[in-house]
Structure 1
Amino acid sequence: MVSDNEALRLRRLVFYAKDIDQINAALLAFVKKSNAQSVVVIDQEGHMVARQGFRQAGSDPSTLAALVAGSFASTRQVAKQLGESDFRVMSHQGPQQSIHITLLGTRTLQVAVFSSQIKPGMIQVLCGELAKQLEALLDSAANRAPSVDDPSTKLGDKFTSEMKNQLDNLFGDL
């Protein structure tokens, strides 16, 4: 029997440059419309898919993504204790900053960070609209057959040697 996590790994989403461009365009439009400080799309393991908006002082986006994923996993267990399969939306309000988290499909999260001066109802509506857009984009990526002829899926001929040189420059000869 394959666990849920193993099943997800077997069905990994593959994003092409076009997908990320479309996701980033939707995120940027959301930031402009909502006045959110930032919005990110992450998988449930906490890996960043895309982000828009400015970085909060003292906040590392990768750390935030990992913590949000852990928080959402914990909340999923609370939902199961209450007889629900999931809670699709989480919101945390602080005196200065608030965060709104939405489950997209079964494995991706949309995380919006905004000033507590913005009305939560407005953010909820706008996050709902964004979630519909992102779910359509993610469904399209998930249902697309991989294309061996798509030039955006191929690495350059010199990728391996260029990557090795970059790593050598970064770490030296270990």
Structure 2
Amino acid sequence: MKICKYKFKGYEEYSTVSEKIFSDLFGSSNDNPYFQLAINEAVINAAKYSIYGINAAEIEIEIHVTDSDISISIHSVTKPFDVKKYRNQMKILLNDPKVKDLDWGDYTAQTERSRGFWYMLTACDYLYMDINGEEITLCVRKDSLNKQLTTRISQLVPRFLIRENGVIT
């Protein structure tokens, strides 16, 4: 297992750090620009919702790479966020026959409502947030990096999990 850790302050520093991250992950090839976009979205959210503000956010990234999987955790002390309520709102979409089989882009139309979160769900096999919303972990199997992506709500919502007291549900 390979573990890489990065710490930086403010979103601007991420541009320098991201070059190292993507080089460590993908080398000279970029097999999955969507996974890279998901990481970028998670980092911008960590900075945007930081209690210190976007330019002073203290962000930590930890990457675990095994022979079969990649998981990337992004942490920042953020403003309060009700993760359970958000996931429950997303689960309601699964019970609506008019919505569940839509692509998320058709559902959100031209708004930016949760756009970054949908990008993350599209690019990952699953993701989980800690109960207070200060850390998100994006997980993908290496053999699915080149998979056909789905944007269908019914396939994406179940990928959103929550970690509470060390248990992922």
Same fold per TM (> 0.5)? no
More helix by share: 1
Please say which structure displays the higher CA radius of gyration. 1
Considering fraction of residues, name the structure with more strand. Answer: 2
